[in-house]
Structure 1
Amino acid sequence: MTQLIYVADPMCSWCYGFGPELLALLDTLPGAKVDVIMGGLRAYNKQVLDDETRTTILGHWQHVAERTGLPFDSAALSQPGFIYDTEPACRAVVTARTLTDDDTGRAALAVFHAIQHAFYAGGKDVRDTGVLSALAVEAMNKVEGEDSFDVHSFAETFVSPMAMSDTREHFEQAQRWGIRGFPALLLVHNEALHMLASGFTTRDDLIATLQQVQQA
């Protein structure tokens, strides 16, 4: 069985751009397991987004849009007093991992992509507990079956000290691996970690690198 580790952040624009490439890779790997680890791009940030930083971020978004053709909506980023804190979005994915029995990791990955789409394409505020809980439960139920999860129970777990602590552990794990940029995709092979992608990478390049590692 192919085992992958995906280190990323739901509010990272290049991770958003990488999403279709990762899913295309997984289409070629039936039964592959994906362990989603949150990197914490701007976790615990407290500063209100100023105009200069907003312009810089929107420039990054434009580059991703041009490279991938994916849609972007800047409504969330344009809110007065917006604070670009990615910890809540990361914590929603960690919460999904805690609540699901899906050992393939697909449920957590579905939540990750749902949050991305809501933020980047839908302009929604994915720092909000209600927004995150609704997005996560909808995505989880699509994977594990209708009515498997409810918003209230998800929100209770999401705001728990355990979820906050587990999320911090994700960030610390990414740092221990020396990963500073996202997305990063690792392959577990022969009891070692092998980097398949550091930054945006196409499906074809992912497949080529994967085959090289497995055949070495």
Structure 2
Amino acid sequence: MSDAKLREDICFWAASMFNRGLTGGASGNISVRTPDGGLLVTPTGSSMGRLDPARLSRFDADGRHIGGDAPTKEMPLHAAFYETRTGTGAVVHLHSTHSVALSMLPDTDPDNALPPLTPYAVMRVGKVALLPFFLPGDAAMGDALRGLGGKRAAVLLANHGPVVASKDLEAAVFAMEELEETAKLALLLRGHTPRALTQAQIGVLVQKFDLDWD
């Protein structure tokens, strides 16, 4: 895919998520791997609802900023995913309301923050690790993600928001949307003892769709 098409796609999906209220103001950021091994990244302080394709931050394959505006301060998060999960083609980070709320509840499981309520939560998102609170932009966030050893494609940052990595931008957006909808379901069902998927049902999904679930 050409650099120009990737830029258009980033702006399209960013605006789509912004317009649907999945992130607001100047929150949220996206990075996408380019064919030459570099990255296109949304700029710091920018609204995902009105990105300019020409002003996206451009990095070369050695991680040097070579064009566009200054990148998001959350680059340590993005870099950690690319370093630890081979095949990552895009990373999306939002401040989506229900996911943030789930990250703040004291009984949220840090090893599996997203309950397996639907098959698509298992198939598109997998297990979600809950990371502790860090100041925005803190390099320690990247270190915490590296500490997972590449075992998770999605994490929740406590009191902050979700981060998802996938093979390409569309897949990352779909996974992020699934994460947010499942977090919403989990909050709606609190106190109602819902029937989540059983381990046997999850096992069938894992086997049928060759999922990473450990």
- Normalised to the residue count of structure 2, the TM-score between the two structures is 0.28
Higher helix fraction (1 or 2) = 1
**Greater RCO, CA 8 A, separation 6+:** 1
